[in-house]
Amino acid sequence: MGHVLAPGVTAPDFTLHVTPDQTLSLGDLRGRPVVLAFYPADWSPVCGDQMAVYNQVLPEFRRHEAEVVGISVDSAWCHQAFAETHHLHFPLLADFEPKGAVARQYGAYRDGEGVCERALFVVDREGLIFWSYLSPIAVNPGADGILDALDRLETQETNDVRTQSAGVGG
Amino acid sequence: MSELRVPVSAADHARGGADGRVVLVEYGDYECPYCRVAHSEVLQLGRHFGDDLTIVFRHFPLTEIHPLAEPAAEAAEFAGAQGRFWDMHDAIYAHQDRLSLPFLLGAARVLGLSERDCALALEAKTYAPKIAQDFLSGVRSGVNGTPTFFINGRRHDGPFDYRHLAAAVESVRFRA
């Protein structure tokens, strides 16, 4: 297992296809917390897979104003079919050409197999990595770690605002 | 390692040993074929471990892919409010291939419950908050699909066939 990018580091910007004719950049999401979920492949043979669970948890993510994106090396066409079948309501990005380039930048690429790790990142509103987690490839990590990180991020933001206003007042 | 964040309480549906050495919590979806398979494995665990095992079921309906999972969960809660949760639970999994709204109402009738009251409860979404509560407790505990099992509070990450679940239960059965 490699090392995924650690908290405190600027999340490398990227532009990837979200549909066959549209792209999405990390920079487009600046100003909101972003959850980056790298995963090995669309079409894993279970119905309650990682993306299906995140899809179902979207209201909780949105409560934190967070955007969620899934990233794998599957093509935009593959993602489109997968998202339609599973009624996914968040974007899946295709780290397809050059294959796995973005995953590599995040330390979330598996060379031997040529797929993304199951790696999770919470990026704060300024584009810094706030939390990261590398799950064993066979273990779907669920959403609890992400929601805990978003809770802590929110607490930190609240404290920062308090400190700043206290500073202005003093 | 993900852990059960909301402890088992009187609000839960439990069967098997009233105060088992091992508590198995399943988060499941009534329309999920893997949960149907798991259901018979869990019944077998119950027969094997007897009073040593307390079996708890919490709802985790993946409504985006399983449109009948939510009404089925609500029908089970409707039956549960009248002490018949497990009868409805078993009936749904036994006939999952025929799952539909008429089936759920018919199942209520077969249990001697009012079909009309069941229909009204589904329409009013009377039990939706309870199901949402289960779902959220699952999300915060690291439920990562259906079914997800917790054995004495720890998520079981292995396969959920009888052999693997029984081994996992056995491994904590005599731990102090």
pLDDT of residue A165: 81
B6: chain A residues, CB-CB within 8 Å? none
Strand-strand pairing, A22-25 and A15-19: antiparallel
pLDDT of residue B1: 65
Alpha helices in chain A (DSSP H): 50-63, 76-85, 101-105, 144-169
Is A140 in contact with B5 (Cβ distance < 8 A)? no
Whether the CB of B171 is below 8 Å from some CB of chain A: the reply is: no
Whether the CB of B136 is below 8 Å from some CB of chain A: the reply is: yes
pLDDT of residue A46: 63
Whether the CB of B33 is below 8 Å from some CB of chain A: the reply is: yes
Who among A57, A140, A141 is closest to B139 (CB)? A57
A48: chain B residues, CB-CB within 8 Å? 29, 32, 34, 60, 62, 144-148
Cβ(A32)–Cβ(A67) below 8 Å: yes
Strand residues in A63-142 grouped as ranges (E): 67-72, 92-94, 109-110, 115-116, 118-123, 129-135
Between CA A139 and CA B143 the distance in angstroms is 11
Is A142 in contact with B146 (Cβ distance < 8 A)? no
pLDDT of residue A170: 44
Calculate mean pLDDT across residues B14-20. Answer: 96
Percent of chain B beyond pLDDT 90?
96
Alpha helices in B30-154 (DSSP H): 33-49, 69-80, 85-94, 101-110, 115-124, 128-141
Is A60 in contact with B141 (Cβ distance < 8 A)? no
Is B32 in contact with A52 (Cβ distance < 8 A)? no
List the domain boundaries for chain B.
13-173
Q: Could you give the residue numbers annotated as active site of A?
A: 47
Which of A53, A86, A89 to substitute to test the interface with B, most B CBs within 10 Å?
A53
Which of B29, B32, B139 to substitute to test the interface with A, most A CBs within 10 Å?
B139
Q: How far does A101 lie from chain B, in Å, by closest CA?
A: 27
pLDDT of residue A24: 98
Q: Mind listing the pLDDT tens digit of every residue in chain A (170 residues)?
A: 568 999 999 999 999 999 999 999 999 999 999 999 999 999 876 656 899 999 999 999 999 999 999 999 999 999 999 999 999 999 999 999 999 999 999 999 999 999 999 999 999 999 999 999 999 988 889 999 999 999 999 999 999 888 888 776 54
Calculate mean pLDDT across residues B83-88. Answer: 98
Q: How far does B141 lie from chain A, in Å, by closest CA?
A: 6
Q: Closest residue of B to A135, CA-based?
A: B1
Question: Domains (ranges, CATH) in chain A?
Answer: 16-169 (3.40.30.10)
Residue A161: Cβ-neighbour burial (10 angstroms; 0-12, 13-18, 19+) = exposed
Q: Confidence class of residue B175 from pLDDT cuts 50, 70 and 90?
A: confident
Residue B99 has pLDDT above 50, yes or no: yes
Who among B34, B63, B145 is closest to A53 (CB)? B145
Residue pLDDT, tens place only, B112-161: 999 999 999 999 999 999 999 999 999 999 998 999 999 999 999 989 99
pLDDT of residue A47: 57
Superfamily of domain B13-173: Glutaredoxin (3.40.30.10)
